[in-house]
Structure 1
Amino acid sequence: MRPVLLYAGLCAPIAALFLLFPGIDTAASRVFYDSAQGFFLAGSTPVWVVEAGVPWIVRAMIVLAVIAALWLAIARRPLWRLDAKVLVFLVAATALGPGLIANTVLKDHWGRARPNQITEFGGTREFTPAPLLADQCARNCAFVSGHAALGFSLVSFALLLPFGWRRRTAIAGALAFGALVGLGRIAGGKHFLSDVVFAGLIIFATSWVLYQAIVGRDLLASPLAQRAGRAFGLLTAAPFGARLALWGAAVMLIEIAAIGWIDRPLATYFREHDAARPFFAFVGPFGLALPYLVVLGIAFAALRWGGAVPRFEPWAARMRAAARIPALLFASIALSGMLVDLLKVIVGRPRPKLLFASGAYEFSWIGLGADHWSFPSGHAATAAALAAALWCLWPQPLLLYAILAALVAASRVVMGAHYLSDVIMGGFIGILVSRALATAYARGRLPFRLGPSPAAEPVLPPGE
């Protein structure tokens, strides 16, 4: 209770200061305003970096959280400090602070005009002191700064450090970064000083309260959370068919959302922004199936029958045992590729280039030309099948497999060869085929087992 009272004691005089002396806001904005040029730094490189860079930082945070969650779910151990309760905290802090409070509740409902919209700076609307409600803006208004809120949200990561000078330094650094982002928004005429200050106060308070509840008091260990966990455990402990049905349903929902609302805007974005193309043009060919099949086929033949050569007879048994590795990899890539190619012809989805050439987007069904073989992505299927098969053999470098496969899949979207839904379905097929083959191998249903007994898990043992 004492920290709450202290924080309230800090916020109250700050609110009174901006309410009683509203000229502070206009004076701060006037520093960056010229009657002839307006907000003269609005188009400058530093301000542009702030506007364009902060959303990418947030995307990176989301990607990190997704990777950490996948790592925790599959590897059964946390990545760095990112265990289950920390991931819940990070997601909740980002969604509640910058997401719900700052960018939804306040910006869309507080009605405060931005500096470049008020009469004092060449606009037509009236200035309103913070934190009063106003009717000068319909949506995406000034109070509070969304960009600054996203910058301040890095304090959530700082709170994860152990108590001490490193934690205090990290918190100060996160707050300084949010203030720097806010300064850029003030310089560009998009926000007042109070918009930035209140964003910082709200985000820090939200992050601290959620940290204390979720991480400090271990909310996930509460009776309610335990009951929810037991209910979820019934799902995760379900037979393979039920789990497959759940995963399939989840993928279908994602596919519906992607096809309906994401595919076209994302394809348009990467058509207009090609800065990343040189990198992904290099990455993309790693999703071609043929080179892998040739190398793996030769490796299998050499290991399977190479022991017949007199010089290699002492190692014949080990070579035959090792042949199961290229056999699994070859079968995973080949079978997933055949399934994907069959679906390509049946579905007949136009590639993104036809969307921009003629507006073609809907599935044509039975596509007989390469331009109508967009769904699913063969490159994504190959990369995912290879990654999943390697994971079944050597589970430890899972994160590396996932990142490399994701880069190959992303290259198809960035290069305009596929839609997002194409690569998601291709990846799902690749993983499904590899997992099914590995399970069949491990249970002795196929000639090359991955374990010493029919009930073994699909992990390669150290010896035969």
Structure 2
Amino acid sequence: METKLHTSKHPGGPPRGTRWALKPPVRAWPSAGAEDLQSPCRTAADGGSMQSPPRPVQQPVIERMVLVQTSYSASKDVNRPALGKLASLAPIDGTAGGSWASRGRTVPLHPPLVLGKLVLLSSMLFVMFPQIDLSVSRFFADGTHFYLSDDRLLVLIRDANRMLPYLVVPVMLVLLATRPVRRSAPQISKRALLVLLTYALGSAIMVHAFKFFFGRARPQHVIEFGGAMEFTPAWQFASMCESSCSFPSGEAASAAAFMAVLVFVPDAYRKYAAAVIVPLSIFVALNRVVMGAHFLSDAVLGWLLVCWLMFWLHGKMGLKTGA
């Protein structure tokens, strides 16, 4: 059986808008002979017996692919059942109406929700396994002494982090004070207020309130490292210290609050600035763990809590998504 090859009249291939379509299957049947056109019942006089005509033998189905030429505008309006089913599904964001094509194919992230879950999971981890704090601190201790507690580079990083609020906060206050004079860029005042609230509510009020209520002793002051105080897990109320308590880390909270200044970086360069500032912020937060001044849970939870506060304020203040 021969199969004809259908070629296009366009030497460079089919034009734009050309679609492939299946033609209905072509079934080949044997040609009917003269004897098949006779009466289906032969008489005995003809020397034959009563019998039905022979059934034709079904030949293999020949499916041919042909090019169907349609215009581009008409091809967009063709009813596609598969795409129609996808379009009828609920949109990604869960609201009524819309389609996948109009809503996009990526699920939007909600930083406050993600950070809130990280805070919850981290808290559960440190509460259920408090030995994590002791094991990490013991890694940087030589018996009863933390051998990097007096390292000059680490001390310099700590002091620089402590000086940042004294540089950032006055600049933000000036931006707010000059708001009546500035008529352009109204977002600047909101961004300055975001930075101020992150420092004030996060690294100041929240940190000192938690230190007062939880009263957790620092690693260098607990019995396991030569001190006289008892070790307590994160989120456990205690009275192991009266001032300068361990949970959460003020340096980690301040390092997280400094990331709020990224709202002043232009959109085109913000991701590059974040690629530098965010790792430095994490390093500064963990710096206090290496020096023996805080447990790992102090730094991790202090950093995450301020990050959550910063993004929550960002959404409540109605700042643009790009900011």
Q: What is the distance in 1 between the residues matched to 2:122 and 2:263?
A: 24
Residue correspondence of structure 1 range 283-362 to structure 2 within 5 A = none
- Answering whether residue 136 of structure 2 is matched by residue 28 of structure 1, we say yes
DSSP 3-state at the match of 1:88? helix
Q: What is the distance in 2 between the residues matched to 1:108 and 1:64?
A: 30
- Answering whether residue 202 of structure 2 is matched by residue 97 of structure 1, we say yes
Give the structure 2 partner of residue 86 of structure 1: 191
- Answering whether residue 148 of structure 2 is matched by residue 45 of structure 1, we say no
Name the CA shift for 1:56/1:6 in 2 (closer, same or farther; >3 Å): closer
Give the structure 2 partner of residue 107 of structure 1: 211
Higher helix proportion (structure 1 or 2): 1
Of structures 1 and 2, the larger Rg is shown by 2
Is the contact between residue 29 and residue 189 of structure 1 (CA under 8 Å) also seen in structure 2? yes
User: C-alpha displacement at 1:83, in angstroms?
Assistant: 2.0
Number of residues of Structure 1 aligned to a counterpart in Structure 2: 213
Give the structure 2 partner of residue 194 of structure 1: 297
Give the structure 2 partner of residue 175 of structure 1: 278
- Answering whether residue 124 of structure 2 is matched by residue 16 of structure 1, we say yes
Which amino acid letter does the alignment assign opposite residue 136 of structure 1? M
Give deviations 1:64-96, integer Å, cap 9, x for gaps.
213323443445445xx8622222222111111
- Answering whether residue 228 of structure 2 is matched by residue 135 of structure 1, we say no
DSSP 3-state at the match of 1:24? helix
Residue correspondence of structure 1 range 39-438 to structure 2 within 5 A = 39-77=146-184, 83-102=188-207, 104-161=208-265, 166-216=269-319
Matched-pair identity in % = 27
User: C-alpha displacement at 1:106, in angstroms?
Assistant: 0.9
Where in structure 1 are there 5+ consecutive unaligned residues?
Answer: 219-464
Is the contact between residue 109 and residue 138 of structure 1 (CA under 8 Å) also seen in structure 2? no
User: C-alpha displacement at 1:135, in angstroms?
Assistant: 1.8
Name the CA shift for 1:70/1:10 in 2 (closer, same or farther; >3 Å): closer
Structure 1 stretches of 4+ moved >6 Å: none
Is the contact between residue 113 and residue 126 of structure 1 (CA under 8 Å) also seen in structure 2? yes
User: C-alpha displacement at 1:172, in angstroms?
Assistant: 5.0
Which amino acid letter does the alignment assign opposite residue 15 of structure 1? S
Where in structure 2 are there 5+ consecutive unaligned residues?
Answer: 1-92, 94-108
Name the CA shift for 1:89/1:5 in 2 (closer, same or farther; >3 Å): closer
Q: What is the distance in 1 between the residues matched to 2:139 and 2:181?
A: 53
Name the CA shift for 1:172/1:113 in 2 (closer, same or farther; >3 Å): farther
Give the structure 1 partner of residue 84 of structure 2: none
Could you state the TM-score of these two structures normalised by the residue count of structure 1? 0.42
Which amino acid letter does the alignment assign opposite residue 176 of structure 2? A
Could you state the TM-score of these two structures normalised by the residue count of structure 2? 0.59
Which amino acid letter does the alignment assign opposite residue 137 of structure 2? S
Q: Which has the higher contact order (CA 8 A, sep 6+)?
A: 2
Q: What is the distance in 2 between the residues matched to 1:214 and 1:140?
A: 33
Q: What is the distance in 1 between the residues matched to 2:199 and 2:318?
A: 15
- CA-atom RMSD in angstroms: 2.6
User: C-alpha displacement at 1:19, in angstroms?
Assistant: 1.2
Give the structure 1 partner of residue 29 of structure 2: none
DSSP 3-state at the match of 1:112? coil
Q: What is the distance in 1 between the residues matched to 2:146 and 2:187?
A: 42
DSSP 3-state at the match of 2:179? helix
Which amino acid letter does the alignment assign opposite residue 291 of structure 2? G
Is the contact between residue 172 and residue 193 of structure 2 (CA under 8 Å) also seen in structure 1? no
